[in-house]
Chains A and B, each alone.
Chain A
Amino acid sequence: MKKLVIKSKGLSDKAIGWLFIAPTIILLLLINVYPLIYAIRMSFTNFYANKLTQVVKNVGLKNYYKILGKEAIWEKMQITAHFMFWTLSLQIIIGLSLALLLNKKFKGNELLTTTIVLPMMLSPAVVGVFWGYLYNPQVGLFTYIVNFFYDFGSFDMLGSGTLAPWAIVIVDTWMWTPFTMLICLAGLRSIPGYLYEAAEVDRASKWQQFVYITLPSVLPFLLLALLFRGIENFKMFDMVMELTGGGPGSMTELTSMNLKREAFEKWKTGYSSAYAVILFVTIFGFGNVYVKVMNKIKDR
Chain B
Amino acid sequence: MKKIISLILLPFFALMFSTNVKAESLTLGWAAWDPANALVELSKEFTAETGIEMNFEFVDWTSYADRMLNELNNKGKTFDLLVGDSQWIGGGAVNGHYLKLNDFFDREGISMNDFSDATVYAYSTWPKGSENYYALPLMGDALAWAYRKDWFDRPELKSEFKSKHGYDLGVPKTWGELHDMCSFFQGREIDGVVRYGAALNTERGSEGITMGVTAAMYAWGMEYEDPNKPYHSDGFFNAPNVVEAVEFYKKMYEDCSPPGHSNAYMGENLDAYSSGQVAFQMNWYAFWPGVAKGDKDGRVTGFFANPCQEICAATLGGQGISVVNYSDKKELAQQYIKWFARPDVQQKWWDLGGYSCHKDVLGSPDFVNSAVYAQGFLDSMGIVKDFWQEPSFVELLIPMQENMHDYIVNGKGSAKGALDNIIEEWEEVFESEGKL
Contacts and interface: CB of A to CB of B under 8 A. Distances in A.
Chains A and B directly touch (beta carbon < 8 Å)? yes
B73 A52 contact: yes
Contact of B204 (A132, A160, A247): A247
B260 interface: yes
A136 B263 CA distance: 11
Contact of B260 (A51, A137, A247): A137
Contact of A265 (B66, B262, B406, B432): B66
B140 to A, nearest CB: 27
A265 B409 contact: no
Interface stretch (A2-10, A116-124, A151-159): A151-159
Interface stretch (B35-43, B105-113, B350-358, B394-402): B394-402
B405 A265 contact: no
B70 interface: yes
B73 A159 contact: no
A160 B263 CA distance: 11
A138 to B, nearest CB: 6
B411 interface: yes
Interface string A229-270: 000000000000100111111110000000001001111100
B261 interface: yes
A248 B263 contact: yes
Contacts of A187: none
Given A244-B263, A248-B204, A249-B409, 7 more contacts: A46-B432, A137-B260, A154-B259, A154-B260, A161-B411, A246-B205, A265-B398
A249 B410 contact: yes
Contacts of A156: 259-260, 262
A interface residue count range (under 10 / 10 to 19 / 20 to 34 / 35 or more) = 35 or more
B412 A267 contact: no
Contacts, number: 90
A161 B402 CA distance: 13
A97 B203 CA distance: 39
A146 interface: no
Interface string A143-173: 0000000000011101111000000000000
A159 B66 CA distance: 25
Q: Considering residues B70, B91, B259, B411, which has the most beta carbons from chain A within 10 angstroms of its beta carbon?
A: B259
A93 interface: no
Nearest to A249: B406
Interface in B255-277: 258-263, 275, 277
B409 A264 contact: no
A49 interface: yes
Contacts of B263: 132, 158-159, 244-245, 247-248
B402 A250 contact: yes
A251 B258 CA distance: 21
A206 B2 CA distance: 61
Contact of A138 (B259, B411, B432): B259
A250 B391 CA distance: 25
Q: Considering residues B275, B410, B412, which has the most beta carbons from chain A within 10 angstroms of its beta carbon?
A: B410
Contacts of A190: none
Contacts of B398: 261, 265-266
Contacts of A49: 73
A26 B193 CA distance: 64
Q: Considering residues B260, B262, B277, B402, which has the most beta carbons from chain A within 10 angstroms of its beta carbon?
A: B260
